[in-house]
A = this chain, B = another copy of it.
Amino acid sequence: MRTLNAGLAGAKSRIKVARTGISAPRSVRQRLAGPASTPPAAALPLNSIIVGDCLDELARLPPNSIDLVFADPPYNLQLEAALSRPDQSLVDAVDDDWDKFASFSDYDDFTRAWLDAVRKIMKPDATIFVIGSYHNIFRVGSILQDQGFWILNDIVWRKANPMPNFRGRRFTNAHETLIWAAKGVGAKTYRFNYELLKAGNEDCQVRSDWLFPICTGAERLKDASGRKIHPTQKPEALLARIMLAASNPGDLVLDPFFGSGTTGAVAKRLGRNFIGVEREPSYASAAQARIAKIEMLPHEAIATVPSKRSEPRIAFASLVEAGLIQPGETLVDEKRRHAVIVRADGAVSLGAIAGSIHKIGALAQGLPACNGWTFWQFFRDGKYEPIDALRAKARASLREAAE
C-alpha cells in the first residue's frame, strides 16, 4: 500500500490512511458495531481514504462490515481517434491509463475480482450501486447476476447538459446507467427509505430515471491552472440521492474507486461514515482536501422519516386489553356493507365465524387479503373512524412510556 503524498493526519496506524475528521454521534456509532458476529467498528479505517490497489485493500477489510457500496469503475472506453467539435476545438477525452483494457475478457476478469472482494465485506443486508455506460455496464450487470447479487433496479441518470454528438452519427449519449443490487436473492431487509424519498418528490414515488446536471462550476475540482483534476467527477446530487435512498445516518459507505471523493464529501455532509480506496495519490490527496472542507448538516436535516414498517407492531388484542375498544362493540366497513363484533380475545366475529381483523375483512369482501386497520371503523362521539386511529393512540402512549 502506498501512502498519500502530503498533508495527512492520523497516518501512524499500520494501515496508513487519511483521516478526514468526521465523527458520527455516539448513538449512531453503536448501530455500526452491529451484531457480535461482525467486527467492531473500531477495527475499520472509518472516514479515510486508503491509497492503494482496490483488490489488495478490500481484502484487508473485515467481512460483513459495509452497509452501502458505491462503485464508479473504469468504463473501458474504446476511443480510436481524436474528436473535434464543429469549430475545430479538440474534445478532452478520457485517455488515462487506468481506463485501458486489452479486451472484454480482461475487463471481465477485473470486474469479477473487485465485485468478489466487495461482496465479501458487505453486510448481508447491504446493497451496491455501480455506475457505467454502454461500454461496460452490460459486462458489470451480467457479472453481478452471475455472482449471485440480486438486482433491485437499473437506474438511468439523465444528464441535463450532456455533450452533444458532434458528427451527427448517433443519438446524443445523454445518460449513464446505475445498477442497484442486494447482496443476494434472500436479502429482503436491505435499506430503502421509501417514505423519505417520496416526501421529497412531491409525495410521488421516485422513478428509475433521475435527472441531474453533470458536475460543473464551483463543484468541479480544478488545479491551480484551472484544469479539471479528475476527468469523470460525479455530481454530489447523484450521490446524495443514492445515500438518502439506501443508507441511514451512521451507516458505513464504501467506494472502491474513490477518485475525486464525491462519495466521501456527500457521506460526511449526510452524517454517514465512509471508506474510500484510490490508487492514484494525486486523486486521493485532492479528495482529502475537498472532504476536509465539508461540514455535516445539522441532525434535523438528515433525520430519517420513520417508515410505517419500522413502527412497533400493535396487536388488535392489546387495544382491547388497554380498554381503547370494548368487547362487544361493532365494527363496520366504510360503506357499511359488513359488520363484525369485537371479541374479548382481540378477534372479531362475522356471524358464526371468528378471526383476526384482517382475515375476517378479507373473508367479508371475498378477497385474498385485507388490511383490517384501515378497513374496519368504530363508532365514537357520533361518528365513524378507522380503528387505525386507535393504533396511533396506542403507539403514542408507547412512545411516552419510553421517555
Contact of A171 among B155, B177, B195 (CB under 8 A): B155
Chain B nearest CB from A57 CB (Å) reads: 27
Which residue of B is nearest A104, CB measured?
B145
Asked whether A154 is an interface residue with its Cβ less than 8 Å from the other chain, the reply is yes
**What is the size, in residues, of chain A's interface with B at 8 Å between Cβ atoms?**
52
Asked whether A168 is an interface residue with its Cβ less than 8 Å from the other chain, the reply is yes
Asked whether A213 is an interface residue with its Cβ less than 8 Å from the other chain, the reply is no
Given contacts A88-B369, A156-B156, A171-B206, 4 further A-B contacts (CB under 8 A): A88-B365, A104-B142, A158-B209, A173-B208
Which residue of B is nearest A195, CB measured?
B168
Q: Are B138 and A137 in contact (CB under 8 A)?
A: yes
Please give, as numbers and ranges, the residues of chain B lying within 8 Å of A327 by CB-CB distance.
none
Asked whether A402 is an interface residue with its Cβ less than 8 Å from the other chain, the reply is no
Please give, as numbers and ranges, the residues of chain B lying within 8 Å of A146 by CB-CB distance.
104
Q: Mark A139-181, 1 if CB is under 8 A from B, else 0.
A: 1111011100001111110100010110011111111010110
Q: Are B141 and A209 in contact (CB under 8 A)?
A: no
Q: Are B134 and A164 in contact (CB under 8 A)?
A: no
Q: Are A170 and B192 in contact (CB under 8 A)?
A: yes
Q: Mark A194-220, 1 if CB is under 8 A from B, else 0.
A: 110010000001111100000000000
Asked whether A367 is an interface residue with its Cβ less than 8 Å from the other chain, the reply is yes
Please give, as numbers and ranges, the residues of chain B lying within 8 Å of A38 by CB-CB distance.
none
Asked whether A318 is an interface residue with its Cβ less than 8 Å from the other chain, the reply is no
C-alpha gap A42/B379 in the complex (Å): 79
C-alpha gap A207/B164 in the complex (Å): 9
Sample of 17 A–B contacts (CB below 8 Å): A84-B368, A88-B370, A104-B142, A134-B153, A135-B151, A137-B154, A138-B141, A138-B144, A139-B145, A142-B142, A153-B173, A168-B205, A172-B205, A172-B207, A172-B208, A174-B208, A177-B177
Given the known inter-chain contacts A104-B146, A205-B165, please indicate yes or no for A141 contacting B134, CB distance below 8 A.
yes
Q: How many copies does the complex hold?
A: 2
- Leading 5 A-B pairs by shortest Cβ distance: A138-B141, A174-B207, A134-B154, A168-B194, A88-B367
Contact of A153 among B164, B170, B365 (CB under 8 A): B170
C-alpha gap A171/B205 in the complex (Å): 7
C-alpha gap A153/B172 in the complex (Å): 8
Please give, as numbers and ranges, the residues of chain B lying within 8 Å of A194 by CB-CB distance.
168-169
Q: Which of A199-249 contact B (CB under 8 A)?
A: 205-209, 245
Q: Are A156 and B171 in contact (CB under 8 A)?
A: no
Please give, as numbers and ranges, the residues of chain B lying within 8 Å of A133 by CB-CB distance.
154
Please give, as numbers and ranges, the residues of chain B lying within 8 Å of A153 by CB-CB distance.
134, 170-171, 173
Q: Are B368 and A179 in contact (CB under 8 A)?
A: no
C-alpha gap A198/B170 in the complex (Å): 11
Given the known inter-chain contacts A142-B139, A170-B192, A171-B206, please indicate yes or no for A134 contacting B84, CB distance below 8 A.
no
C-alpha gap A214/B155 in the complex (Å): 18
Q: Are A179 and B134 in contact (CB under 8 A)?
A: yes
Given the known inter-chain contacts A177-B154, A368-B84, please indicate yes or no for A207 contacting B171, CB distance below 8 A.
yes
Chain B nearest CB from A195 CB (Å) reads: 8
Which residue of B is nearest A80, CB measured?
B185
Please give, as numbers and ranges, the residues of chain B lying within 8 Å of A138 by CB-CB distance.
137-142, 144-145, 179
